[in-house]
Structure 1
Amino acid sequence: MKPESTLAGVDVAVLAGGLGTRISAVLGDTPKVLAPVAGRAFLGHLLDRLAGFGARRVVLCLGHRAGRVTAWLARGDFDGSLDIVCRIEPEPLGTAGALGHARGALRSDPVLVMNGDTFVDADLGAFVAAHRASQAEASLLCVEVEDAGRYGRVEVDAGGRIRRFVEKAPGRGTVNAGMYLVSAAFLDHAAAAGAVSLERDVLERAPAGTLHAHVVQARFLDIGTPESLAMAGHVMARTDA
């Protein structure tokens, strides 16, 4: 599959409604997804990368300061081939709640779900192929990092299935990169259950062996802290090189 057709026919849901409390002292009233990175909004980098893999339709799950994001979209600082749909939550609903609120706008099966504050320089074509081969209702893109202390670990068995999620602990480990391929049935189940957190209420409660993990060696960025945001420009520059 060519990179430019990898996500053809796959809707992408970007979770971009978080409060960003850990970096509010740095960003002020700027939403986290609009954090300036390498000369432009972080969201612009994400959208252009999705377009590069053939995405055509992106649903932005917005909440906190959504008006700032929609105003940025109106300026058009991203790949113009994308059809952008905004779903604004009426109150903080959590990551699973935001997906439930946007469920009617997500038409494909599977759907690619991603956090709006993380970036992973991975081959999404390989991720899609691995997900389809696994026949799992949900697959997580996972990366190996030098220090898993911030994120918690994902334990994966020899067949690529997730055994369990474990507490944060320092040292090298495999972590959730904040990108998922999920079936329509999986989304419907999460919405019907009234889940709030996609991570805690849905993924971590799934029976062992039901979720698939696609583990890659790739550059991974989470802009959720002042320290990681300060490093973001360097990471993106290396990715663009």
Structure 2
Amino acid sequence: MRPEEALQGIDVVVLAGELGSRLRGVPGDTPKVLAPVAGRAFLGHLLDHFAGFGARRVVLCLGHRADRVTAWLAQGGARRGLEVTCSVEPRPLGTAGALRFVRGELGSDPVLVANGETFLDADLRAFVASHRLSGAQASVLCAEVPDTGRYGRVEIGPDGRIRRFDGRRPGHGVVGAGIYLFSAAFLDRLAASDAASLERDVLEAAAPGALHAHVSRARLLDIGAPEDHAGDHAGDRDDDDRGGP
């Protein structure tokens, strides 16, 4: 499989319903996905990354100030040939609630889900292949970082399955990168639940071994951290991806 074929036929969902009030130098009513990174809206980098791996359809889950994002799209923010659909939640639903809200618009199996605040320039071809080989209904793309205290550590067993989410502890380790592959069956169960937070109520509540992990050494960019979103390295990558800790 060529890199540009990795996401062909796979719907992509970007969870982008939060505000940018935590970002230094960015107006508080600006959606985080429009925060400037390397001279461009963060969302532009995300969409280009997915399109580069063959994505053709992206659903944006938006909330307050969705009009800013739709205006950015109307001005040509997204790459040509990429179908971008905006779903505006009627009230804050949480990350799991946002997925529940758009479940009926998603037709592929699996679906790639991405947190709109983080960027990992990893090889998504390797992630998709690892997910399919694992046989799991849900896979989490993870990253090795020098300090897990900012994110929350993920403990992975020798079988590549997540044993637990271990909270924020200092030191080198593996963290979730905010990118997931979910089967249709997994999304159907989520849609039938009353979970609000994808991370807390769904992933962290999963039984040990239920979730597959694919670990990348690519650089993790978090626009919620001033030292990250002010940088200019959104495109840096180390392509050494592997399916274990």
Normalised-by-shorter TM-score class: over 0.9
> Residue 138 of structure 1 contacts residue 186 of structure 1 at CA under 8 Å; is this kept in 2?
yes
Give SS of 1:46's match. helix
Q: Which residue of 2 aligns with 1:187?
A: 187
Q: Which residue of 2 aligns with 1:106?
A: 106
Q: Which residue of 1 aligns with 2:148?
A: 148
Q: Which residue of 1 aligns with 2:162?
A: 162
1:226 CA drift (Å): 2.4
| Aligned-partner residue type, residue 216 of structure 1 | S
CA change 1:186–1:16 in 2 (3 A) is same
1:19 CA drift (Å): 2.6
Q: Distance in 2 between matches of 1:229 and 1:45?
A: 12
| Aligned-partner residue type, residue 62 of structure 2 | L
Q: Which residue of 2 aligns with 1:95?
A: 95
CA change 1:23–1:218 in 2 (3 A) is same
1:137 CA drift (Å): 0.5
1:24 CA drift (Å): 6.5
1:18 CA drift (Å): 1.2
| Aligned-partner residue type, residue 123 of structure 1 | D
Normalised by the length of structure 1, the TM-score is 0.95
Q: Which residue of 2 aligns with 1:52?
A: 52
Alignment map for 1:217-232 (pairs within 5 Å): 217-231=217-231
Q: Distance in 2 between matches of 1:53 and 1:237?
A: 14
1:113 CA drift (Å): 0.2
> Residue 149 of structure 2 contacts residue 171 of structure 2 at CA under 8 Å; is this kept in 1?
yes
1:21 CA drift (Å): 3.4
Question: How many residue pairs were aligned?
Answer: 237
Provide the alpha-carbon RMSD of the alignment: 1.2
| Aligned-partner residue type, residue 144 of structure 1 | E
Identity of aligned pairs, percent? 67
Q: Which moved more, 1:25-34 or 1:150-159?
A: 25-34
Q: Distance in 2 between matches of 1:238 and 1:3?
A: 17
Consecutive unaligned residues of structure 1, counting only runs of 5 or more, are none
Q: Distance in 1 between matches of 2:203 and 2:62?
A: 21
Measured against aligned partners, the alpha-carbon deviations of 1:108-136 in whole angstroms (never above 9, x if no partner) come to: 00000001111101110000000000010
Q: Which residue of 2 aligns with 1:236?
A: 234
Q: Distance in 1 between matches of 2:143 and 2:171?
A: 14
> Residue 27 of structure 1 contacts residue 35 of structure 1 at CA under 8 Å; is this kept in 2?
no
Measured against aligned partners, the alpha-carbon deviations of 1:181-218 in whole angstroms (never above 9, x if no partner) come to: 00011111111111100000000000000100001111
| Aligned-partner residue type, residue 50 of structure 1 | F
Consecutive unaligned residues of structure 2, counting only runs of 5 or more, are 238-245
Q: Distance in 1 between matches of 2:190 and 2:24?
A: 30
Give SS of 1:13's match. strand
> Residue 26 of structure 2 contacts residue 35 of structure 2 at CA under 8 Å; is this kept in 1?
no
Q: Distance in 1 between matches of 2:65 and 2:77?
A: 18
| Aligned-partner residue type, residue 88 of structure 1 | V
Give SS of 1:21's match. coil
Consecutive aligned runs of 4 or more in structure 1 exceeding 6 Å deviation: none
